[in-house]
Structure 1
Amino acid sequence: MLCMHLHLAPAFLPFALRGGRLAVFLHGIECWKPLGPLRRRALLLAWRLVCNSQETRRRFQRSNPVLAGLPLRVCPLGIGSAQEAREGEGTEECKEPGVLLVGRMDPAERYKGHDEVLEAWVEVRARIPTAVLHVVGEGADRPRLEEKARRLGLGGSVRFHGEVADHRLESLYALCSFLALPSAGEGFGLVYLEAMRAGKACIGAQGAAEEIIEDGETGFIVPYGDVPALRERMLELLCDAELRQALGRAGRRRYERHYTEQAFARRLSRALDA
């Protein structure tokens, strides 16, 4: 029995106590804090523990030293869709330089980097007046971020799209210049895979993103919270079409080699193999 979320694991305790083979998949922030007794018990009884990244494993073990000795296999995620077959999507860009930021806007998740991107965008807009920042996602923190954009004088250069349908999101990936999500709290970061699938370079922050983005090869890694470093990398990609397109092509190749649904299924099968 595979439980794909830690929050559900206690419900499988009777199954595990009867000798059933329970596997639990850990994703990130839900296990980066000391666990309560029921969740600890479920993990101690689990036949197999799997997680999505080395970052998730490190932070789980640091927060739960009593569980640190349990074998925990790393199995990076993968994505795929019918649109995946559209080879070359993403090689065309919108005429106006556009940066895409995709992420939930929740007061408890300000680690995702929206504030830092907005602060960096002040200088980006001054240097490249036609550049547009597209922000996709919803949440209770959206009004604060919209007000911050107004206060910074960013005007129409920042567009908040809210939640969008899958086909609209794919269009935004296809038309953007690159993705920027300098988050410190991702257990993995599926949005990086979505951008790579579309042939786009990525900017991420130190953490799990380092396991997906090859710094200088498929995008850039910046120190979390370092607005000047983020600004310079965004300007570098916006000003150098040849570079960002080369990084995007390399990202697409990396996606095809490592992060398709089929690649994930093979990894998961190996991780669950007795």
Structure 2
Amino acid sequence: MARFFGKLIEHLVSKLSCDSIAVSAATKNNLESIGVESENIHIIPNGIDIERIEQTVPSSDGCDILFAGRLIKEKNVDMLLEAVNHLRQTVPDIKCHIIGDGPEKERLIGLACERGLLDNVKFSGFMGYDEIIACMKSSKVLVLPSTREGFGMVVIEAFACGVPVITVKNQRNAASMLVSEGTGFVVGTDAGELSDAIRTIITDGVLRKKMSSAALDASRAYDWDMMVSELTHFYMELIQDYHPIG
């Protein structure tokens, strides 16, 4: 029901303006699907405060794998837990840190308990932004197994921390468009495939260092100052083209 009303509001609001801003190509496609003309949609990605991220001190409590986000069905955190279960066979002391709250939390804790993963998986619940960034900086890989992301802020935040990212291939997951072979992996929605990708990154220090450098480079395209400048330019053009009626 909530999704139905969300779609209805999207459709109604899209009719109220001549121009729309989409944060990704996937979001643009979504707007087109509800009737917004392609030429009236402008893609301006979200930005991050790179300076703030650079100044954040890494957490002393490091981990191999980090997930940060709402614990909802679309995030597929259960697939991550199954991947950790696979990995434990060859990497017994693997550590996975799950940050976030949501309706799936109790079920996921139950699944971790059922699989005997409580020594390998830590659930932290809600954390402040700087705390999340500190944890991100002390992890080896960020995993985002979500099948639905309008942009994927956590991906570029991980990039700014020099952390490679693994996400999944899905047409509704815009985050998959942010990740390239140089900055991480895009895998199918299969726990075995996910575990193989995680193993590759956490056990190959040379590859991880290369990906870390590429991730840092990629993050600079999303600097907050650049996005604000682009957005300001967009609004100035709208003002110049505005012709009041009457």
TM-score tier (shorter): 0.7 to 0.9
Unaligned runs of 5+ in 1: 1-28
TM-score of the superposition, structure 2-length normalised?
A: 0.85
Tell me whether 1:242 sits opposite 2:206 in the alignment.
Answer: yes
Unaligned runs of 5+ in 2: 239-246
Name the structure 2 match of 1:226.
Answer: 190
Percent identity of paired positions between Structure 1 and Structure 2: 24
Instruction: Output the amino acid matched with 1:47.
Output: C
Change in CA separation of 1:271 and 1:61 when aligned onto 2, cut-off 3 Å: same
Q: Distance in 1 between matches of 2:135 and 2:77?
A: 18
Name the structure 2 match of 1:19.
Answer: none
Q: Distance in 2 between matches of 1:41 and 1:169?
A: 35
- How far off its partner does 1:30 sit? 7.5
Identify which of 18, 23, 30 aligns with 1:52: 23
Q: Distance in 2 between matches of 1:209 and 1:78?
A: 14
Name the structure 1 match of 2:8.
Answer: 35
Superposition pairs of residues 144-223 of structure 1, within 5 angstroms: 144-206=107-169, 207-214=173-180, 216-223=181-188
Tell me whether 1:78 sits opposite 2:78 in the alignment.
Answer: no
Name the structure 2 match of 1:105.
Answer: 71
Change in CA separation of 1:172 and 1:34 when aligned onto 2, cut-off 3 Å: closer
Name the structure 2 match of 1:3.
Answer: none
Aligned residues: 233
Change in CA separation of 1:146 and 1:243 when aligned onto 2, cut-off 3 Å: same
- How far off its partner does 1:97 sit? 5.1
Which structure has more relative contact order (CA 8 Å, sep 6+)? It is 2
TM-score of the superposition, structure 1-length normalised?
A: 0.77
Q: Distance in 2 between matches of 1:130 and 1:145?
A: 20
Instruction: Output the amino acid matched with 1:77.
Output: N
- How far off its partner does 1:139 sit? 1.5
- How far off its partner does 1:60 sit? 3.0
Instruction: Output the amino acid matched with 1:253.
Output: D
Name the structure 1 match of 2:244.
Answer: none
1:32·1:56 contact (CA, 8 Å) conserved in 2?
no
Instruction: Output the amino acid matched with 1:186.
Output: E
- How far off its partner does 1:179 sit? 0.3
Instruction: Output the amino acid matched with 2:203.
Output: C
Q: Distance in 2 between matches of 1:83 and 1:30?
A: 35
2:163·2:215 contact (CA, 8 Å) conserved in 1?
yes
2:21·2:43 contact (CA, 8 Å) conserved in 1?
yes
Change in CA separation of 1:32 and 1:240 when aligned onto 2, cut-off 3 Å: farther
